[in-house]
């Protein structure tokens, strides 16, 4: 099992307090087994064990799309958020964007008319303790027929999910003892993108063949148009505090193009 940068990022996010912050406290920090179980299920949902191709449409029916294959009433807000992201110069295939959408949806950001899309299941808050990675994959999956689980697919492919969950966990545990999980550089041809802490706001670069501007740690790399919008939004704060654009712009920039760490 290959641990790509995206797989490592997902694991690190789920097993740290970051996932709780991203979901406004709704999704608790997960154990390694819980995280591997969810990762294994996501790999089956998207059909990509590397987590490099996430904004995908369901191959057979074309009903689901995205990391959790949002379907039906859950597909509508996903498509809207995706379109808005593209308009803002963001990449909906980016792992950070996908993880944030996952957290936001579960936290109720896209609930309509007071009706919860998925948070009502409380699958993450009520997850049992002490299960194996395979068992957690099955727990999160559930099925549409049984009316259980977070994913609730029509065809669960349970055994594939269980097997992948264990493979991910074994690969993670096989890392050298004492070596912290680190996210490799996404693009070694552009090493400057790997060190945002020393980069001044307004720095220009080229990523994936497109011009981008560094908007600070919170907003990361943005298109020139989006950068101007960020600066306009921050203008009142800059007048009262010249350093606010540095302190206030802190993790969402790297998240915009998926080139940052934790």
Q: Is residue 122 part of a domain?
A: yes
- Domain housing 141: 5-173
> In this structure, are 218 and 138 located in the same domain?
no
Please tell me the distance from the alpha carbon of residue 2 to that of residue 106, in angstroms, as a whole number.
Answer: 28
> In this structure, are 82 and 158 located in the same domain?
yes
Residue labelled with tokens 């608790």 = 28
Q: What is the DSSP annotation of 184-224?
A: --S-TT-GGGG-GGGPPTT-EEEETTEEEEE--TTT-EE-H
In this prediction, residue 120 carries a pLDDT of 87
> In this structure, are 155 and 87 located in the same domain?
yes
CA distances from 11 to 8, 34, 113, 140, 189 (A): 5, 10, 33, 16, 25
In this prediction, residue 247 carries a pLDDT of 39
One digit per residue, the tens of pLDDT, for the chain of length 262 reads 778 999 999 999 999 999 999 999 999 999 999 999 999 999 999 999 999 999 999 877 778 999 999 998 899 999 999 999 999 999 999 999 999 999 999 999 999 887 888 888 889 999 999 999 999 999 999 877 778 889 888 888 999 999 999 999 999 988 766 555 554 443 333 333 333 344 678 878 765 556 767 766 555 666 777 677 667 665 544 444 444 443 344 444 444 445 544 4
> In this structure, are 239 and 166 located in the same domain?
no
> In this structure, are 72 and 147 located in the same domain?
yes
- Sheet of 210-214, strands arranged across: 204-207, 210-214, 221-222
> In this structure, are 80 and 143 located in the same domain?
yes
Q: Is residue 39 part of a domain?
A: yes
In this prediction, residue 219 carries a pLDDT of 57
Q: Is residue 179 part of a domain?
A: no
In this prediction, residue 49 carries a pLDDT of 94
In this prediction, residue 177 carries a pLDDT of 60
> In this structure, are 52 and 82 located in the same domain?
yes
Total domain count for the chain?
Answer: 2
Of 119, 143, 173, the position where a domain reaches its end is: 173
In this prediction, residue 262 carries a pLDDT of 44
Q: Is residue 62 part of a domain?
A: yes
> In this structure, are 169 and 198 located in the same domain?
no
Q: Is residue 181 part of a domain?
A: no
In this prediction, residue 209 carries a pLDDT of 59
End-to-end alpha carbon distance in the chain = 23
CB 133 within 8 A of CB 36: yes
Structure tokens, 74? 């859950």
3-state secondary structure 71-133: CHHHHHHHHHHHHHHHHCCCCCCCHHHHHHHHHHHHHCCCCECCECCCHHHCCCCCCCCCCCH
> In this structure, are 86 and 203 located in the same domain?
no
Classify 236 in phi/psi space as left (phi over 0), alpha (psi -120 to 50) or beta. alpha
Please tell me the distance from the alpha carbon of residue 78 to that of residue 13, in angstroms, as a whole number.
Answer: 21
Length of the chain (residues): 262
> In this structure, are 74 and 201 located in the same domain?
no
Q: Is residue 222 part of a domain?
A: yes
> In this structure, are 39 and 128 located in the same domain?
yes
Structure tokens, 28? 């608790």
Q: Is residue 185 part of a domain?
A: no
> In this structure, are 122 and 26 located in the same domain?
yes
């Amino acid at each position: 099992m290959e641990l790509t940068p995206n797989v490592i990022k997902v694991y690190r996010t789920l097993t740290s307090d970051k996932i709780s912050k991203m979901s406004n406290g709704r999704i608790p920090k997960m154990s390694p087994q819980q995280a591997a179980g969810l990762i294994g299920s996501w790999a089956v949902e998207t059909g990509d064990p590397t987590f490099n191709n996430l904004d995908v449409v369901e191959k057979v029916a074309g009903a689901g799309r995205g990391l959790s294959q949002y379907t039906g009433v859950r597909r509508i807000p996903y498509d809207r958020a995706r379109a808005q992201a593209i308009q803002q110069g963001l990449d909906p295939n980016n792992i950070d964007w996908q993880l944030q959408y996952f957290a936001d949806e579960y936290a109720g950001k896209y609930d309509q008319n007071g009706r919860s899309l998925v948070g009502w299941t409380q699958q993450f808050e009520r997850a049992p303790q002490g299960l194996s990675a395979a068992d957690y994959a099955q727990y999160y999956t559930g099925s549409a027929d049984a009316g259980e689980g977070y994913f609730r697919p029509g065809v669960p492919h349970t055994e594939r999910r269980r097997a992948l969950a264990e493979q991910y966990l074994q690969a993670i545990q096989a890392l050298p003892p004492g070596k912290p999980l680190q996210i490799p550089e996404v693009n070694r041809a552009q090493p400057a993108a790997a060190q945002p802490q020393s980069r001044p706001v307004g720095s220009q670069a080229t990523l994936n063949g497109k011009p981008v501007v560094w908007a600070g740690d919170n907003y990361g790399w943005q298109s020139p148009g989006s950068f101007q919008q960020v600066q306009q939004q921050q203008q009142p704060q800059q007048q009262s505090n010249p350093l606010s654009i540095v302190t206030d712009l802190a993790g969402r920039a790297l998240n915009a193009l998926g080139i940052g760490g934790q």
